[in-house]
Amino acid sequence: MPNLLPRPRLRTRPGSLPGVLEEPDGIEPDVIASGGVRWLNLERPREADREWLEREFGFHPLAIEDVASRNQRPKLDAYDDYLFIVLHFPVFDKAQDRLLTAEVDMFVGPDFLITLPDQNLPPLAAMFERYRAREQVREDVFSKGSGYLLYKIVDTCVDASFPMLRKMGAKLDQLEDDIFEGRSDKIVREISNAKQEIINFRRAVRPMRAVLRDLERTKQRYLTEDLDIYFDDITDAAERIWDLLENYKEVAEALEDSNESVLSHRLNESLRVLTAFSVALLPLTLIASIFGMNFDLPGDEGLLEFWIVIVLMFAILGGVLLFFRRRGYL
C-alpha cells in the first residue's frame, strides 16, 4: 500500500536525552530506547493519543482509524517507511474467569516500534518492564534493530499461549476422569465451558496464522533476510498451537459424546429396573382386580381361601423376579 505521507519522525525537546519524545499536554508515552531504536508502549490508546501519534509520526489516517476500531481483524499493511500490524492474542481474565482476546496494534519503522494493546496483556507488559529495568538485556535486543525487537515481542506473546494450553489439556483430562467416576451429570456445564474456551482460543489464533506468514515473507530495511528464520520459528509455534487446539476440540467433542452416552446408559439402567418391577407386579394387580369385583367368588365364606390367594400372589411375584434375574434384567 503506497504511503503519500512523509517518513515518520521522532522529535525531541531541546536539551533532552536522545530517544525522549516531545510530549504534549495530557500525553504520557512510555518509551525505552537503546542502540538507536525506540520502543513506545501505549496501553488502551485514547483519542488524544491517536491524534498525537498521527501528528508526531505522520502515520496514515487509515492506520490511525484502525487503531480506534474495536473489531479489527489481524492484518499486516506495508507502507513505504513502516509496517502497521494488528495481532490478536488470547489472555485469561481472572475476574471474569474466562478466556478473552487482546488486540495489539503495532507500528514498526527503521528505528522505532510502537505497541498499542487495547487491554492489559501480561506478557507484553512484563517484557517492557524487564527491558526497562535491565539495561544489558535491552541493549542486546535493541542493537539488532526494530525487526528483531518485533520478533521478540511477537514470540513472547505467542509463547504465552502454551501455559494456557497446558492448563486446558489438564482440565480436559480431569473431565474425562470425572465422567467415569460417577460425576457425569454434574460436569455438563464444565464441558460446555471448556468448549467455549477452545472456541475463543481458536478465534484468536486462526486469523493470526496468516498474518505471521505474511510477516515472514515481508522484506524491509528493518526486516532483513537474516530474520527469516526467526519469524519462521514464530510461524511454527503458531501452527503447533493450532494443532493443539484442533486436538483439544476433538477431545472436547469426544468427552461430550462420552458423557451423553454414560448418562443415557444410566437412564436405560433405571428404566430397565422400573420396567422389570412393573411387569412383575402386573399379575398381582390382575389377581387383586379379579377378587375385588362386587359379586360372589368361590371361597367367600372363610379366610383360608384369602391366604391361599396371598400365597399364590407372592409365589407368582417370586417366580417372575427369579426369571428376570436369570435373564439379566435385574
Can you list the domains of the chain with their CATH numbers? 1-145 (3.30.460.20), 266-327 (1.20.58)
β-pairing, 37-41 vs 112-117, is parallel
How far is 317 from 302, CA to CA, in rounded Å?
24
Cβ atoms of 13 and 20 within 8 Å: the answer is yes
Residues of the chain with pLDDT under 70: 1-29, 182-185, 219-225, 265, 280, 284, 287, 289-307, 309, 324, 327-330
What's the burial of 303, exposed, middle or buried (CB within 10 Å: 0-12/13-18/19+)?
exposed
Cβ atoms of 62 and 56 within 8 Å: the answer is no
Of 208, 212, 242, residue with least CA distance to 228: 212
DSSP state of 17: P
Question: According to the model, what pLDDT value does residue 57 have?
Answer: 87
What percentage of the chain has pLDDT greater than the value 90?
18
- Reduced to 3 states (helix: H, G, I; strand: E, B; else coil), residue 190 is helix
Question: According to the model, what pLDDT value does residue 281 have?
Answer: 72
Question: According to the model, what pLDDT value does residue 219 have?
Answer: 61
pLDDT, tens digit, for every residue of 81-135?
889 999 999 888 777 777 888 899 999 988 899 999 988 889 999 999 999 999 8
Q: What are the backbone dihedrals phi and psi of residue 134, each rounded to the nearest 5 degrees, phi first? A: -110, 100
How far is 320 from 313, CA to CA, in rounded Å?
11
Cβ atoms of 103 and 86 within 8 Å: the answer is yes
Question: According to the model, what pLDDT value does residue 24 have?
Answer: 47
Question: According to the model, what pLDDT value does residue 222 have?
Answer: 61
Give the C-alpha distances (Å, rounded to integers) separating 240 from 42, 206, 209, 243, 330: 30, 12, 11, 5, 50
- Reduced to 3 states (helix: H, G, I; strand: E, B; else coil), residue 29 is coil
How far is 178 from 303, CA to CA, in rounded Å?
57
pTM of the model: 0.72
- In the chain, DSSP assigns E strands to 30-34, 37-41, 75-78, 83-93, 98-108, 112-117
Residue appearing with cell numbers 435385574: 330
